[in-house]
Amino acid sequence: MSTPQIEAAPPCNLFLFGANGDLVKRLLMPALYNLNRDGLLDKGLRIIGVDHNAASDSEFAARLEAFMRERDAASQGTSKCLDDKLWARLAKRIGYLTGDFLDEATYQAIAQRIRSNPSANAVFYLATSPRFFSDVVQRLGAAGLLDETDGFRRVVVEKPFGSDLASAEALNACLLKVMSEKQIYRIDHYLGKETVQNILVSRFSNGLFEAFWNNHYIDHVQITAAETVGVESRGAFYDGTGALRDMVPNHLFQLLAMVAMEPPAAFGADAVRSEKAKVIGAIRPWSKNMALKNSVRGQYTAGKQGRKKVPGYRDEPRVDPDSHTETFVALKVMIDNWRWVGVPFYLRTGKRMSVRDTEIAICFKPAPYAQFRDTEVERLKPNYLKIQIQPNEGMWFDLQAKRPGPALAMENVELGFAYKDFFKMQPSTGYETLIYDCLTGDQTLFQRADNIENGWRAVQPFLDAWKDAGEVQPYAAGEDGPTAADELLTRDRRVWHPIG
């Protein structure tokens, strides 16, 4: 089957607020380079960095090039990903604007940049600290830069989108004062990953899956996002945020929504996002006592990551030595609708765990009757469908097969596929699809206001309960969380699916 031809995104002025930050250097600029490599950026695209540090257009482009070459050297060894000719052509379209985010003169200069380019289309990407989101958007509106009379105007907002339900509602209200929902692109880079998007394709294009994708056949669902890194240079930010706020209402709930949503009426942005908002809105709101019972908070202590000794969280730079911020969280949530009633969803995420792994493990109910009495396999192991998001992208289904020989002995075997074995995978940051969709006006993979608020509404009981109780449990770096996380499942006569 031939690959469908994808048209280049329309010409546009792409303004990157916070242009000197890590997000632009590590992810956005490499993603834009990859899109340009694949012919998906119009020659009329202009990339303009906006930040308070003084720099010329050529200096900013040179800085980005130097960082990308360093990244190549670190990750690819002798292999070279940055093509000199491709970069030279892209660099000619890179500019820079020195300005304070809170200064009206900055926005007048932005307007002048748009007027000086052939295209009046503009996308404003807020790769800044969250404290600037409201101020930047309000000033864009006051300067008339969100008016779409002469072209489209869109704003991309990174996470965290609020720190609780009240702040998320306030930020949504602030954005919607100066622009419409169709102009807002709340981004979650997990949704740019191929395997996340493949969940929808696998579920809704294969009749086999849809037949048993319900509480009649599924016992429970586990969603894990394990990291081996610590907080690195983000100590100050992370200490005021924690694992719950950083990962659950956005990344993990988006994965939950992809697994649990009802089939949309069509694969348009509104239909898909409506179904996702419905399922997140159906998460049962726990009381404070139930929130404590169904959650575990952990914090890593000194330990070993592989053979390397690493410090505990409280010894990390810019972290309060008496901090009670969680670096690990495990939750049990229930979805109160017909498809999922009675099926628990167990979520866990943490730093300094044994391996890097983001996966969804769907556990099916055992066969109703075991035919193997008086043998070692009288009790059958459950079947799992494992969807691995990273690092080894793919899907696997495990089942029991008879081991060769005269004895009735069973072996667990896996059927499935890894993306790298079936498809040619180009280097990717995970942002390519999302940036392209924003430039073309497709909001399917972006969060809507009601989705954001429903996520915080489900998380709020845990935040409220932890204010008064809920001690943080220690776990050594290199382990997979505190023992209390295992107990969260063992009391339900279940166990975590091994990660990795």
**Half-sphere exposure of 460 toward its Cβ, with a 13 Å CA cutoff?**
18
Amino acid at 470: G
Cis bond leading into 391, ω under 30°? yes
Is residue 216 among the annotated active site residues? no
Q: Does 159 belong to an annotated binding site?
A: yes
- List the one residue out of 341, 299, 304, 306 whose CA is nearest residue 321: 299
- List the one residue out of 373, 407, 447 whose CA is nearest residue 171: 447
Q: Does 85 belong to an annotated binding site?
A: no
Cβ-proximal residues to 176 (8 Å cutoff; 6+ apart), any chain: 184, 449
Q: Does 100 belong to an annotated binding site?
A: yes
Q: Which of 52, 216, 251, 324 is catalytic?
A: 251
Q: How far apart are the first and last CA of the chain?
A: 33
Q: Does 467 belong to an annotated binding site?
A: no
Q: Does 101 belong to an annotated binding site?
A: yes
Tell me 57's DSSP state: H
Q: Does 246 belong to an annotated binding site?
A: yes
Q: Which residue has the tokens 């930040």?
A: 51
Kindly give the interhelix angle for 57-76 and 29-37, rounded to the nearest 10 degrees. 80
- Give the bridge partners for 224, in sequence order: 348, 359
Sheet holding 357-364, edge to edge: 410-418, 394-402, 384-390, 357-364, 218-226, 344-350, 328-334, 295-301, 473-476
State both tokens at 500: 């990795």
List the beta strands (DSSP E) in 207-322.
218-226, 295-301, 303-305, 308-310
Write the DSSP assignment of 88-139 as a string of letters: HHHHTTEEEEE--TT-HHHHHHHHHHHHHSS---EEEEE-S-GGGHHHHHHH
Q: Does 351 belong to an annotated binding site?
A: yes
β-strands 13-17, 384-390: how paired?
unpaired
* Max CA pair span of the chain: 83
Amino acid at 493: R
CA distance 10 to 436: 10
Q: How far is CA 75 from CA 87, 99, 257, 348, 353, in A?
A: 18, 33, 33, 29, 22
- Is the CB of residue 400 less than 8 Å from the CB of residue 411? yes
Q: Which residues are annotated as a binding site for substrate?
A: 189, 193, 227, 246, 351
Q: Which residues are annotated as a binding site?
A: 100-101, 159, 189, 193, 227, 246, 351
Looking at the annotation, which residues are catalytic?
251
